[in-house]
Amino acid sequence: MRLDVVTIFPEYLAPLNVSLVGKAAARGQLDVRIHDLRSWTHDRHNTVDDTPYGGGPGMVMKPEPWGEALDEIIASGDGDAPVIVVPTPSGRPFTQELAVELSAKPWLVFTPARYEGIDRRVIEEYADRCDLREVSVGDYVLAGGEAPVLVMVEAIARLLPGVLGNAASHQDDSFAPGPMANLLEGPVYTKPPEWRGRGIPEVLLSGHHGKIARWRRDEAFRRTTANRPELIEGADPAAYDKKDREILVALGWVRDEDGGWRPAGSRFGRSQQAVEE
């Protein structure tokens, strides 16, 4: 996979040289290229921003350097256009599902902005020419898009074949497609078996793989209902087996009129008949 990042702060992307991403690049699994946007400016001040039309606070990143940068980067490919990823708080949420989708693409170009963002005409221009995604890493605003790029690259790169030491490591991740969809991963433990008077759940020492798998799934439901209940509410109820339904009822959840799950006491909740259905 090839990854290009265009930024006015190339040094911000230094973490891409270390840990899993850095090792993957060293092994040739990732081709990471960092570009300084100011290289495509033509004035002595290397200007990349200007005041917004219509007034208002802040500055807007100019279209000319972005256009030249993206044109040159796209032209350097083998003919296939990249997927352009624009970090922005007004974009589509970045999820594990999207990370999986992007990990299957051969070439990604990230365009982290600063100030009030990039002139909208740049987004429109390259949306007409490429597969362009505007993506948000959360409901908050940062000083720039470089930190979101680091988040997304790490999430995407670890899904590439051979990047993780154990290919199955990401299959039980929170939000992973399959059984963990719409669930948070539960607690994990390692040696020693006792630390400061605190032990580990006995089931993890039992060697019974079926019971361990069930315990882990139950704990995933406990954590998800406590921390991210909206994930359970938005999940497909058909994905839950009888044991799943039993743990949800034990945690105080009931079925609603549409067959979905809601915390007991919320509107439209049904009775415990949900377990038998």
pLDDT level of residue 179 (50, 70, 90 thresholds): confident
Residue in 116, 154, 233, 246 annotated catalytic:
116
The three-class DSSP label of residue 32 is strand
Name the binding residues. Answer: 137-142
> Residue 270's domain spans which residues?
171-276
Name the binding residues for S-adenosyl-L-methionine. Answer: 137-142
57 with 114, same domain: the answer is yes
92 with 198, same domain: the answer is no
The answer to whether residue 45 is domain-embedded is yes
105 with 190, same domain: the answer is no
pTM of the model: 0.85
Instruction: Give residue 272's pLDDT.
Output: 46
Residue in 36, 71, 134, 173 annotated catalytic:
173
228 with 206, same domain: the answer is yes
pLDDT level of residue 265 (50, 70, 90 thresholds): confident
pLDDT (tens digit per residue) in 127-157: 999 999 999 999 999 999 999 999 999 999 9
User: What proportion of the chain, given as a percentage, has pLDDT over 70?
Assistant: 91
pLDDT level of residue 180 (50, 70, 90 thresholds): confident
Instruction: Give residue 172's pLDDT.
Output: 58
The mean predicted confidence, pLDDT, of the chain is 92
104 with 209, same domain: the answer is no
135 with 179, same domain: the answer is no
Q: Does the annotation count 262 as an active-site position?
A: no
Q: Does the annotation count 194 as an active-site position?
A: no
Cross-strand bridge partners of residue 133? 85
Residue in 52, 89, 237, 263 annotated catalytic:
89
Choosing from 104, 127, 158, the residue where a domain stops is 158
Instruction: Give residue 248's pLDDT.
Output: 98
Q: Does the annotation count 133 as an active-site position?
A: no
Choosing from 133, 158, 183, the residue where a domain stops is 158
Strands 49-50 and 60-61: antiparallel
Rg of the chain taking only CA atoms, in angstroms: 23
pLDDT level of residue 97 (50, 70, 90 thresholds): very high
pLDDT surpasses 60 at 268:
no
The answer to whether residue 142 is domain-embedded is yes
What's the burial of 99, exposed, middle or buried (CB within 10 Å: 0-12/13-18/19+)? Answer: buried
The answer to whether residue 43 is domain-embedded is yes
The three-class DSSP label of residue 6 is strand
Distances from the Cα of 88 to the Cα of 137, 196, 221, 231, angstroms: 8, 44, 31, 23
Residue in 158, 245, 255, 262 annotated catalytic:
158
135 with 220, same domain: the answer is no
64 with 181, same domain: the answer is no
pLDDT (tens digit per residue) in 61-81: 999 999 999 999 999 999 899
Domain total of the chain: 2
Instruction: Give residue 266's pLDDT.
Output: 72
27 with 148, same domain: the answer is yes
36 with 134, same domain: the answer is yes
The answer to whether residue 166 is domain-embedded is no
Instruction: Give residue 270's pLDDT.
Output: 47
Q: Does the annotation count 120 as an active-site position?
A: no
Q: What is the CATH number of the domain that holds 151?
A: 3.40.1280.10
Instruction: Give residue 174's pLDDT.
Output: 65
The answer to whether residue 164 is domain-embedded is no
125 with 217, same domain: the answer is no
154 with 176, same domain: the answer is no
